[in-house]
Structure 1
C-alpha cells in the first residue's frame, strides 16, 4: 500500500532543522567522519532507520508540533508524518549520492537557510538571556493602562479634506443640523460614515494629539467651533460623554504586555548592532526618475512583488474583552501585486477610520 506525501509546504519549515539525524554506526565506522557539531543519534533515540541512517524521535516530535501550530490544532496521522520523514530522507540520500549538494546553487541556498536558522537562534538566545522583568511590565502597565489614562471619552467626528468643507459643516450645525446625518453624508471615514461618525469610547492617548486635545477641551454635548487638523484631514468633533476609567489589574493584561516588551527589547538590540556596524550600501535602492510621459504598465503585465509598510494595531484587553490600551506597530509586508488600475484606493479609504497615534 503506497503512502501519500503530506503537502511539502506544511512540513518544509519544520524539516529545515532535521540536522540531528545521524548514520547508524557500523563496526568499521570512525567518529572522526561525523560533523563535530552534530549530536550523535543512538538507536534508542531514533524512530526509524533508513539505509543505515537514523531519524531521531526529536525530529518527529518537532514536525508534529510544527504542523499543529501552523494548522491551528489540525493533526495528521502519525504514520503519515513518519512516512513523510522517511521519503524526505530517501530524497536527501539520493541527492547526496548524485552530489547535488556540491552544486553552487544548492550550496548558496543551504547557506541562506543556515543564516535564517542562525537569525532565529540569535533572537531566541537574546530573549532567553534578556527576559522581560516584572519591573518592566509594571512600568509599561503604568504608562499604558494604570497610570495616566483615567478618563474615557465618547465622541463622534466628521472627516473632510479641506478646512473650507469643515467650516461649512460647522455652519450647518450652528443652524441646527443633525450631526449624525452630516457625518453619514459627508465623512470620508468609511466606517464612521455608516454610523454617524461614532468613535465609541477611547482614552486620550489613543488619538493623535490635536484630536485628543480638542476632545478634552470640549464640554459634554458640544462640538468644535473651529475645524481640527490632523494628518488624516480636517475634523469636526462632537464630544458626547466622558467617564472615569477603572483600569484592570496588572495580572489581567500581563500576558499581553510581555510580548510587546519582548519586541521592543529585540528592536533595541538590532538598532544597537546597526549603529555599531560599518555598513556600505553598494547598490541604489530607488529607481531613477522616469519621464512623466513614460507609459504605465498594462494590467496584463506579470505581477511584481511590492513591499509596503502596514500599520498594525494590537489591542490590550481585560478578562471581559474590553479594550484598555492599544499598541501600534509598523510591519513590512511583501505581496504580489499587478500594476493595474484596481490598485487605486477609493476616496473613503484614503483616510484611516480612527486617527490613531503612530509610534
Structure 2
C-alpha cells in the first residue's frame, strides 16, 4: 500500500523530539547529556532502524490535532505513518550531519529557549493560581466600585455651524428632532434612526460631546452647536441613569487571565531587579540632521490647512451592563480596562 504524508496542523519539531530512542546507533545519535530516555518495546508504537517511537508521542499528536482542528480526528494508521516518516527524515538529516550546521544549531537553541520560557511561565502560573479571594478583591475595587452615569441621547450631525444653527432655530419653532435628524444628519440620513445613540457612558464619546450631554437637562437640546472633529452636533438628551456594574460571575472569566498576567508581570519584574544586566547596544537611533528650512515657508490658506482633531477623552472604565450603543460618527470607544465586558 502506498503511503502518503498527511497535512497535520501541528508543530513538527515538538513531536519529533518525542520520537524517543531505545539505543544509540551509527546514524549520529545525540550526545549523552541531551539524549532522550530509552523506550521499551512495550511502550512503543513503531521501531524505525532500531529507533523506537513512544506511545506518548502518538498520544501527544492526537491531542494536538484535536485541539487545532476543533475535534477532527485522523485514523491511527495515518498518524503512526506520519511519525514513521518524520523519524526517517530525522535519521536522514542526522546521518548527513545537518544537525551540526550553524544555522540549525542556532534555530534549535532559539526553539529551546522559547520552550523553556513557556515552561517557566506555565510552572509559575500552576504554582501561583489566581484565588477566588483575589478575583473578588479585583471585582470590588475595579468593577463594583465604578460609579458613573449613562446617557440616552439623539444628535444631528452636520458639516457647518451655520447648518446646525438653522436646525436649532427649527427646533425652537417646534420641529420634531427625529425627523430633522433623518432629513439632515450625516449620521441618520441612511439609517433613518432619528439620530438615536442609545445608552452610552461619557467615556465612549469625545469630550466636547459628552460634556454637552452631561450639562443638558432631561428632554432639552443644545442651544448652541457642539463642535467635534466630526462636525457640528445638535444634541437632545432623553434620559440618564446610574451605571449598574455586572455581577461577579459575569466577569470572573475575564478577571482571571488579567490577574494571571499581573502575577506574571510582577514575577518578571522581580527577576529583572535581582539580575545583573548590562545593555551593550544603543537603544535609540541617532537623531537625523535637521534639514535647512526654506527662507520663506509657504503659509497654507484656510482651505488648505487641515482641521485639527479634538482628542477623545479616553479613560479606563469597568464593565457596564448597559445596552450596546450603535456605532456613530460621534462615538469614540474608550480603551477597555482588563475587566471590561461586552455590554
Q: Same fold (TM over 0.5)?
A: yes
Give the whole-Å Cα distance in 2 for the aligned partners of 1:131 and 1:43.
39
Give the whole-Å Cα distance in 2 for the aligned partners of 1:256 and 1:272.
25
Aligned match of 2:294: none
Give the whole-Å Cα distance in 2 for the aligned partners of 1:131 and 1:231.
46
2:41 to 40, 43, 56: 43
Give the whole-Å Cα distance in 1 for the aligned partners of 2:112 and 2:104.
12
Larger relative contact order (Cα-Cα within 8 Å, sequence gap ≥ 6): 2
Aligned ranges for residues 170-319 of structure 1 at < 5 Å? 171-176=166-171, 178=177, 182=181, 187=186, 195=193, 197-205=195-203, 212-225=210-223, 237-244=235-242, 246-270=244-268, 277-282=277-282
Give the whole-Å Cα distance in 1 for the aligned partners of 2:192 and 2:265.
39
Aligned match of 1:4: 4
- What displacement does 1:97 show? 0.7
Deviations 1:95-149 (A, max 9, x none): 0111111111111221222222222223222322332222331233234432324
Aligned match of 1:128: 126
| Equivalent pair of 1:50/1:89 in contact (CA under 8 Å) | yes
Aligned match of 2:332: 355
Aligned match of 1:139: 137
Tell me the SS of whatever aligns to 1:241.
Answer: strand
Aligned match of 2:88: 90
Give unpaired runs (5+ residues) of structure 2.
292-315, 338-343
Moved more, 282-291 or 196-205: 282-291
Q: Structure 1 length as normaliser, TM-score?
A: 0.64
Alignment root-mean-square deviation, CA:
4.6
Give the whole-Å Cα distance in 2 for the aligned partners of 1:232 and 1:40.
69
Tell me the SS of whatever aligns to 1:11.
Answer: coil
Tell me the SS of whatever aligns to 2:17.
Answer: coil
| Equivalent pair of 1:229/1:235 in contact (CA under 8 Å) | yes
1:109 aligns with 2:107: yes
Aligned match of 1:74: 72
Tell me the SS of whatever aligns to 1:16.
Answer: helix
- What displacement does 1:316 show? 6.4
1:16 aligns with 2:11: no
* Change in 2 beyond 3 A, CA 1:249/1:197: same
1:169 aligns with 2:146: no
2:57 to 56, 59, 84: 59
Q: Structure 2 length as normaliser, TM-score?
A: 0.66
| Equivalent pair of 2:20/2:51 in contact (CA under 8 Å) | yes
- Relative to its length, the structure with more strand (as a share) is 1
| Equivalent pair of 1:152/1:203 in contact (CA under 8 Å) | yes
- What displacement does 1:35 show? 3.4
- What displacement does 1:209 show? 6.1
Tell me the SS of whatever aligns to 1:175.
Answer: helix
Deviations 1:234-289 (A, max 9, x none): 76544333345554431233122212322333345456666764435447669969
**Largest Rg, 1 or 2:** 2
* Change in 2 beyond 3 A, CA 1:40/1:200: farther
| Equivalent pair of 1:24/1:52 in contact (CA under 8 Å) | yes
| Equivalent pair of 2:206/2:331 in contact (CA under 8 Å) | no
- What displacement does 1:207 show? 5.2
User: Aligned residue pairs: how many?
Assistant: 301
Give the whole-Å Cα distance in 2 for the aligned partners of 1:46 and 1:196.
71
Give unpaired runs (5+ residues) of structure 1.
292-312, 326-348
| Equivalent pair of 1:184/1:197 in contact (CA under 8 Å) | no
